[in-house]
Structure formats: structure tokens, C-alpha cells
Amino acid sequence: MRAGTELVFLRIAATVRPPAKNHPQQDLTMIRFLLRFLGLCLLATAFVFFVYDGTKSIANHDLVYSKVGDVWAIVDQNSLNMAQAWLKQKLAWAWDPYVQRSFDLPAWAVIGVIAAILILLGRKKKPLIGYARD
């Protein structure tokens, strides 16, 4: 009787396989989904800033927009100060003519460009015609 139970156990153990490891394609699909999701959330945020700036501009009869530096300061002043200090240290030659002016750009435009880049990075690959893709 004991030999029979060991035989059954060996048969069950032979049929049980270790769990399959994640396929690299599945990992890329999740990363693409995350990039697209973040991109779409940022695109919605850019649209909200665009509408907000548009209503302020209509009310004031003048072009008014939220600057990247101002929005970043509202969200987290310490990280803005650290980023500016790091950029001044690493890109001292470009701070005054270029980098400092990037903080004065409209927030909706900068967030929209970042969103577009994330959406493009997360897009699905087009199938190649006549070729197999691995």
C-alpha cells in the first residue's frame, strides 16, 4: 500500500511543472500600457491648464498663461529649487540663455509635449508586412 502511494505521488510530481517565467513580450506590454496611461493622464492635465489659461485670458482681455516654474512651485517648491540648482551646476553654460527661459514656458504646452512623447513611446508596434517579428 505504501509503494502505491509513492507511485501516485511520483506521477503527480511528474505532471506538475514549475511556473513559467514571464515572457519578455508580456513585460513590454505592461510598460507600454503604463507609458500610454501616464501620457493620457498628462494630456488631460495639459488640456485642463489650456482651458484654465484660456478662461483667464478671455476674462483679462490679454494673453495670460501659467508658467512651468509657477506650477512646479505650487506642487513642490523644494524639488524645483533642487532641480534648478542641479541644472545650474551641470549646465552652467546654458542656464541664462536657454534653460532658465524653459521655466517661463506655458505649463499646458510643456505638459502636452511630455504627454505626446510618452504616448509615442507606449504605442503598439505596427506589424511588418512580409516579415515575421520575434
Query: How many angstroms separate the first and last alpha carbons of the chain?
Result: 51
CA distance 120 to 30: 15
- Band (5; pLDDT cuts 50, 70, 90): low
Q: Which of 99, 110, 98, 33 is nearest to 71 (CA)?
A: 110
* Cα 70 to chain centroid, rounded: 22
User: What integer best gives the mean pLDDT of the chain?
Assistant: 84
DSSP 38-95: HHHHHHHHHHHHHHHHHHHHHHHTS----BHHHHHHHH-HHHHHHHHHHHHHH-HHHI
Domain ranges of the chain: 26-55+107-124, 67-105
Higher pLDDT, 12 or 97: 97
> pTM of the prediction?
0.72
Mean pLDDT of 112-134: 83
Does residue 34 register a pLDDT over 90?
A: yes
pLDDT at 111: 96
